Amino acid sequence: MAGTGTAAPIDARHKGPKGAPGSLAAYWAMILPVVVFYLLFLAWPYLALLAMSLYRFNSTTLYTPTFTLENYISVLGDGFYISLLGSTVLLGLGVTLATLLLGYPLAMAIVRARPRMKAFLLIVSLSPLLVNLVVRTYAWLVLLGDKGIINAWLMSLGAIAEPLPINNNFVAVSLGLVHVTLPLMIISLVGIMERIDPSLLEAAESLGAGPWRILSRVHFQLCLPGVGTGSLLVFCSAISAFVTPRLLGGNRFSTISTVIYEKFMFSLNWPLGATLVFLLLAINFAVIAIHGRLFREH
């Protein structure tokens, strides 16, 4: 029993070279609630979702519980879904590259800065994480709309006559997602850059390497594990996001996630939506596996 104080029955515990005091049962009792909770609200719903992807769509009862692979066959055989898959992956790659290019110099500046400046830059970098996702996306909606701020500026300056097509498309969704995911890249990069031994860079400099060579041959190579982690986080978040793509992409630009949302909330084709969910999960796990293979030695 946990915490019956000094009157606890004395038994043969305190085994093993390490570990906190007390009986093992007490520790299992601490873990049990979380396990039960996760079995009930994670494992069970996910298994139900898997079953759903194998059910047959029925427009009146939502689905009929007979197992079939036809959802998977129709998704993988349909040009629409294949091109959806393509544009989703492309979006993920574009966002990842952009966060890397934007995040790298800022991460370097953070690591070099003095304590006060460092705290300021860290708060700035991480602030998107703390500002509501809807609010952040709303900001881009306001900036990029046909009557949005950027178009209004440009038109009042006389630079353009017609609004630029910068909303409801790939560019708009990418910009929004870069803003949303940038902190993940910066955290990963700062994490790895903090651990780089400065004497390695000094050694390269003493051997005559200029700053660009040090950056490409030493610094970037040393940062690769962080680049890998950051890219993984950004890519997976980007392809799985749906609030930002939905609001900024409108009806004209879709990703797998926005279609999942649409299937579950509007067209109510849950079996097909569930099938797309497992397509999305498959991409996620494939990327995680690739990451694991590439960065195993680190």
Using the minimum distance from each CB to other proteins, give the nearer residue, 79 or 159.
Answer: 159
Residue 146, interface with other proteins (CB under 8 A)? no
User: For residues 1-60, which are near other proteins according to CB under 8 A?
Assistant: 2-6, 8, 10-24, 26-31, 33-35, 37-38, 41-42, 44-46, 48-49, 52
Residues in 69-98 at the binding interface with other proteins, rule: CB under 8 A: none
Cα–Cα distance measured from residue 22 to residue 2, given in angstroms and rounded to the nearest whole number = 8
| Contact flag: residue 135 with other proteins (CB under 8 A) | yes
Q: Which of residues 99-128 bind other proteins (CB under 8 A)?
A: 102-106, 108-110, 118-119, 121-128
Q: How many residues does the chain have?
A: 298
Distance between alpha carbon 129 and the CA centroid of its chain, in Å? 12
Q: Is 139 in the site for other proteins (CB under 8 A)?
A: yes
- Residues in the interface with other proteins (CB under 8 A) total 108
DSSP-derived letter for residue 63 is E
Q: Which is nearer to other proteins, 79 or 210 (CB)?
A: 210
- Name which position in 188, 231, 269, 275 contacts other proteins (CB under 8 A): 188
- The first and second tokens of residue 94, run together, are 């574009």
Among 69, 73, 134, 200, contact with other proteins (rule: CB under 8 A): 134
| Six-digit token string for 119 | 């705290």
Burial 205-227 (b: 16+ CB within 10 A, else e): eeeebeeeebbeebbeebbebbb
Does 260 bind other proteins (CB under 8 A)? Our answer is yes
Instruction: For residue 70, count other CB atoms closer than 10 A to its CB.
Output: 14
Q: Which is nearer to other proteins, 42 or 286 (CB)?
A: 42
Q: Which stretch binds other proteins (CB under 8 A): 77-85, 199-207, 271-279, 289-297?
A: 271-279
If one asks whether residue 174 binds other proteins (CB under 8 A), the answer comes out as no
Q: Which is nearer to other proteins, 8 or 93 (CB)?
A: 8
- Using left for φ > 0, alpha for ψ between -120 and 50, and beta otherwise, residue 79 falls in alpha
Query: Least distance from C-beta 289 to other proteins, angstroms?
Result: 12
Asked if residue 277 lies in contact with residue 49, where contact means CB atoms within 8 angstroms, the answer is yes
Residue 24 CA to residue 36 CA, distance in Å, equals: 18
CA-wise closest residue to 231 among 119, 133, 100, 131: 100
Near other proteins in 201-220, by CB under 8 A: 210-212, 215
Nearest to 187 by CA among 116, 128, 259: 128
Stretch that binds other proteins, among 70-78, 89-97, 197-205, 278-286 (CB under 8 A): 278-286
Nearest distance, CB of residue 126 and other proteins, angstroms: 6
8 A C-beta contact, residue 284 and residue 236: yes
